[in-house]
Structures are given as C-alpha cells and as structure tokens.
Amino acid sequence: MRRRLAAPVLALAVLAAPGAAPAHAAVPDDPALLSLGDSGGAPSLPDQWWAPRSGFPKAWDLVGREQATVAVIDTGVDASHPEIEPQLLAAVDHDGDPRRGPATVDENGHGTHVASLACAAPGNGIGIAGAGLGCRLIIEKTDLTDASVAASIRDAVRRGADAINMSFGTEDDRRPSAELREAIDEAYRAGVVLVAAAADRPRREQGAPGNLLQPTGTGPDIDAGKGLTVTAATSRDRRAPFAGRGSQISMAAYGAAHRHRDAPGILGAFPANATLLERGGTPGQPAGCGCRTSYRGDTRYAYLSGTSMAAPQVSAIAALMRKLNPDLRPGDIPRLLKRTASRPPGRRWSPELGWGILDAEAAMRAARALDRTPPASSIVLAAPVGDGSVALRWRGQDIAPPGVRASGVARYEVWRATGDGRPRRIATTAATSLVVRARAGVPNRFFTVAIDRRGNRESSPAADDTARNRTI
C-alpha cells in the first residue's frame, strides 16, 4: 500500500496575535520561545509562536518529575543534532532499504523536524523547546509499508512509549492490512495514545493510519475511535487551506501560518546533511522546499508547515497527560483532548477543525482532575459486643498519582462470609463503623469495599483474602 509523508507545505507564514509569551515557572530558556523574530519571523512574535498560543507554558507548569516518552515513526533523525541527541532513548530501523541508512540518519529531513517539535531538548539555550518538555524519543524509522509501520508500532509499545506519532498516511482509501489493524488495536489496548496526521490535501479521506484511528463518520462522536487524526490550523484559528477535513478529523493543532511575508512557518530542527526535502524531485515534493534557515548562526533548523507539524504537538501533550495520570483508560486521553480543544470558542465538532484546536493547558488540567485510581479500605476492628453482634470499624483512603486530584471516598460496602460460603454484601454506608449480627457456630469473616466519588471501586473481596478479613 502506497503511503506519503504528510508533506510540508510551502509559501505559508505566521501571523498570530501580538505579544510574547508570559513568564511561567517551567518555561525554558530556548531563544525561540522568548525572542521576537530573530530569524526573520514576524517581529512582534516569538519564533516558536505556537507554544504560547496553544497554552504550553502553563501546561508545563503541571508536568511531573518523570519524563514522558514519545515514539516517532518517520524517516529517522539526525541523532547528532543537539536538540535530538539528549532526548534519544532508542532508534530502531524498520526501513527495508539499506541505502537510506540507519534510524540515526535522516536523509529526508521530515523525521528530524517532526521529532523536534515533540521532544526537542528544552533549556539548552539554543533553538526550540519540544512540546513534551524534555520527553524522551523513540525513533522508529519506516519505509511506510504496512508491515514496517505495524512493526514500528509494536516495537514502540514494547519500549514503553506513552504516545506514538505518525505524520504520514496512505494516498487513497484502500483497506489497510490486518497486520496494521492488529498493531493499532494492541497499542490501544495497552493504553498508548496513537496520533496520526491528516492529509495535506483538503480532502475527506485521510488515508491510513488516520482513518483507522478516527474512522469515517466517527469524528462527531467524542468517544469514538482508537486515537486522534490531527489536521492543521493556521495562526488565524482556521483550517489551513491545504489540510484534510471531514468526519475522520478528531481535532487540530497549529501546523501552518497565515499568509504573511514576514514569517515562513513552523520552526524546527533539521539535519546537518543535505536532505531530500531540499532537493525535491519526488511526487509529494517536486520542488526543493527552500526551508532551511540559519537560526542564530546554526543552519540545522528549518521552517516547514503541514499536518505533520501539528500532529507531534498533540502526541507530546498526550504523552505528558499519560505520564501525569497513568491510570487513565485507553479512551480517556483522546476524549479529554477533544473536550478541552478550543478556538473558536463556543463550538462543537466541525468538519474543518474537528473538536477544535489543541489547548495544552486545559488538557493537562483535565487529566489532573480525572481520578481513575480505586480507593482502598481495610477493617481495623471486629469485636463481639454481645447478643451475637459484632462491632466493625474500618478505615479508607482514596489514593491518586502525584499531581492528580483524588476524588475522595464516597461510601463503603460491608461484606461478610460465613463458614466456607462466598462473601455477601450486608450494608452500604458512608460511615466507618457498624454493628452487625454474626451467625453463631460458624466462622464469620468481614470485608469492606470502598467506592470513590468518581465511581472507582476497590476490588471485590475474595474468600481467602486473609490480609483484610477479621475472623470471629
């Protein structure tokens, strides 16, 4: 099956709302976040204008201590690039053509740019900061065949990726292979967030893998799909003229710019070597991109626009959400990202931008507020009080990962097992003590099950749960 990278689109430039990013505790010192038009960009805007516009600095204030991990399935990376090398966790070659080199070489240029938008090294005083604020990179170099993509997905899951970015897609609506479908299903069941770029043409068929993550007709259903298909928005909060649209679109992120002569696109890392994007001559890129730029004297950067540039921003924030709240279910993160998407405000799903443009801060706050961790409880006293009655006292606690707000215990179920019988629920109460009747002449074992305000339920008792029972 023929695939195309979500090709960068030329002749687009930035025009966003004026003003530099406000100061936040987590904002690193990378000049593209803080400087105004240093490389020929719009003079009143940070060169990395999309980060404050999407709420990333405030989102970074909520990031925990553990690094997230993003897998980028693409054309490899320039592993020697200072934006890539410190973040590189693994680089695996699934490209069947040895002439293109190992995964640590990017002869195309696309993979390095995409990977940097996700996880470029923050706080190193050069270039940009990736959307994942120090996230680690798993690079899966692919030849874009179904077999190669499926192998890349499976390897990324095995290596512990929190999210997988796929800035490519088929050029038609032919049925993907069973192997690719199965790999996507496995990753979804493992809780890994899958993100694909929409087409770089204004069509309704986004191709695979996008049409597997958000199948035709499911875009308006906030709960549907096995991942996110991301189209490109301009800095005017509109769908980019070149970008995919329709019922396979989940949401949008900034991947392009409004037409303006002063700023040429999305700044990202670029290989030191000459690239295929610059040479041109391919069906998707007949002319050279003219995209390389000298950023503060370093020519290992480029301005590109495309759905490929939008997708890694979503992948990175999805990975941060999963690391912040590892108990989230497979469908939780895509749903939260859709629900918190903004711009234009007061709207629901549309075929132009899906559920709206990425709001990184709102998404992180939503992940922080969604308690999926079951509470815990245990009986601390079970004492006879006469008349065949037993006084029970227990304690409970609603535990959540660091940074996540626990919803609190709402109620307890009290369970009893007599003799060799199965446990049965005998009471439901918000209290932490109770007097119950005991059956004479047989052992009585008591258990509690806590339920929190989000409906998370402690595991039901087992008859041999001797660590938690009290025998009378």
Q: Each residue of 133-181: pLDDT tens digit?
A: 999 999 999 999 999 999 999 999 999 999 999 999 987 777 889 999 9
Asked whether the CA dihedral 177, 182, 188, 193 is positive or negative, the reply is negative
Burial of 279 (0-12, 13-18, 19+ CB in 10 A): middle
Domain boundary among 314, 339, 369: 369
| Four-point Cα dihedral 82, 84, 85, 87, nearest 10 | 120
321: helix, coil or strand? helix
pTM: 0.89
* Encoded tokens for 463: 């008859």
Report the chain's terminal Cα–Cα distance, integer Å.
Answer: 68
* Encoded tokens for 23: 């100061």
Same domain, yes or no: 120 and 144: yes
Q: Which residue has the tokens 């040479």?
A: 279
Q: Which residue has the tokens 């010192």?
A: 29
Burial of 228 (0-12, 13-18, 19+ CB in 10 A): buried
pLDDT for the residue 231: 98
Q: Which residues pair with 175 in a beta bridge?
A: none
Taking the C-alpha atoms of residue 258 and residue 215, their distance in angstroms, rounded to an integer, is: 29
Question: How many structural domains compose the chain?
Answer: 2
Pick from 81, 88, 74: which is nearest to 3 by CA? 74
Q: Which domain holds residue 392?
A: 376-471
Same domain, yes or no: 387 and 358: no
Same domain, yes or no: 106 and 229: yes
The answer on pLDDT for 262 being more than 70 is no
Same domain, yes or no: 409 and 288: no
Q: pLDDT by residue (tens digit) across 214-255? A: 999 999 999 999 999 999 999 889 999 999 999 999 999 999
In which order are the strands placed within the sheet that holds 376-386?
Answer: 376-386, 389-397, 433-437
Same domain, yes or no: 270 and 308: yes
Same domain, yes or no: 231 and 146: yes
Same domain, yes or no: 385 and 305: no
Categorize the per-residue pLDDT at 3 as very low, low, confident or very high, splitting at 50, 70 and 90: low
Burial of 179 (0-12, 13-18, 19+ CB in 10 A): middle
pLDDT for the residue 110: 97
What single-letter DSSP state applies at residue 406? P
Same domain, yes or no: 387 and 359: no
Mean pLDDT of the chain: 88
In which order are the strands placed within the sheet that holds 292-295?
Answer: 266-269, 298-304, 292-295
Backbone angles phi, psi at 460, to 5 degrees: -65, 150
Neighbours of 71 (CB within 10 A): 33
